[in-house]
Amino acid sequence: MRNPRNILLHELIGLECKVIGSKNKNHLGIKGRIIDETKNLIILETKKGIKKISKKGAIFRLKLENGIVEILGNDILARPEDRIKRRIKEW
C-alpha cells in the first residue's frame, strides 16, 4: 500500500498530482492525474489536456489513499522501473 514513507518504492501512475514548485514558472499550479512517467518527465492529464512536466527542479504534491505527500522531482529522476528496483535493493 502506498503511503508517505514508501511512495518512492511504488508506481506513481494514477495518482492525483499538483506542481507546487518548478524551474519553469508556467508549470506552477498545474494539477491533474498522472498518466505516464518517463526518465525525465511526469505526464499529467488535466482539464485543459495533456501536460508534460520536467522532474528536474520540480516539487510535486501527490494525493494518496491515506494522505498527501510532497516529493522532489530530483528524487524520482530515473526510469520508473529502474527507480523502483534501485530503491528496493538499497532498502
Query: Residue 16: is its pLDDT beyond 80?
Result: yes
- Full domain range(s) for residue 44: 7-90
Q: Specify the CATH number for the domain of residue 57.
A: 2.30.30.210
Res 91: pLDDT: 42
Res 86: pLDDT: 66
Helix (H) / strand (E) containing 37: strand 31-37
Tell me the DSSP string of 47-84.
TTEEEEEESTT-EEEEEETTEEEEEEGGGG-S-HHHHH
Count up the domains in the chain and report the number. Answer: 1
| Residue 86 domain flag | yes
| Residue 41 domain flag | yes
| Residue 52 domain flag | yes
pLDDT in tens, 30-79: 999 999 999 999 999 999 999 999 999 999 999 998 889 999 999 899 88
| Residue 2 domain flag | no
| Residue 1 domain flag | no
pTM here is 0.87
